[in-house]
Amino acid sequence: MQTKYKYKDKTYTHIYPLSEALGQEGIFIPLSISEETLSKLGVEVTHEEEPLEVIKQRKITELKYQRDEAEVEPIAYQGYSFDYDSKARERISAAIVALEVLGASVTLTWTTADNKDVKVTASDLRGIIAQVALRSDKLHIAYRKAKEKVETATTKEEVEAINLF
């Protein structure tokens, strides 16, 4: 729902510019003023449905956000949960390089997302990355399907009913 304020042949889409216009005439209003009081000041308040394209764009942005958040959640690998935020990705990459230099049988003690210490090899860390890649692929497929549904939706209700998962 979009609220518009019409005052003296000018339409405002937000209360703040309206309050500035009224202030130019010496009428100072709180930003929380009621519609009834605005009406007494000669302001016509209307409520319009947002255009479907705006609703669709907002939904697509929401779906992208959900996908991106899910991509950095901890990942399960061999019964353990491993962090996979940007800092964890940097540490995993550095550890893989170090373990490859030291040899295939060398292990590091790694703290899991739930604070357990486990021994990992370079192969384990690459396995974690592989699990993330699989999860990422599923998330992107789900996002593309949801986005397509949004783009073909014909009503606000259809758009709002679409979920990533």
Please choose, from the candidates 75, 137, 135, the residue with its C-alpha nearest in 3D space to the C-alpha of residue 110: 75
With 0.75 as the threshold, say if the pTM is over it: no
Per-residue pLDDT of the chain (165 residues; tens, 9 = 90+): 789 999 999 999 999 999 999 999 999 999 899 999 999 999 999 999 899 999 999 999 999 999 999 999 999 999 999 999 999 999 999 999 999 999 878 999 999 999 999 999 999 999 999 999 999 999 999 999 999 999 999 999 999 999 998
15, 38 contact by CB (below 8 A): no
Biggest alpha carbon distance in the chain?
Answer: 81
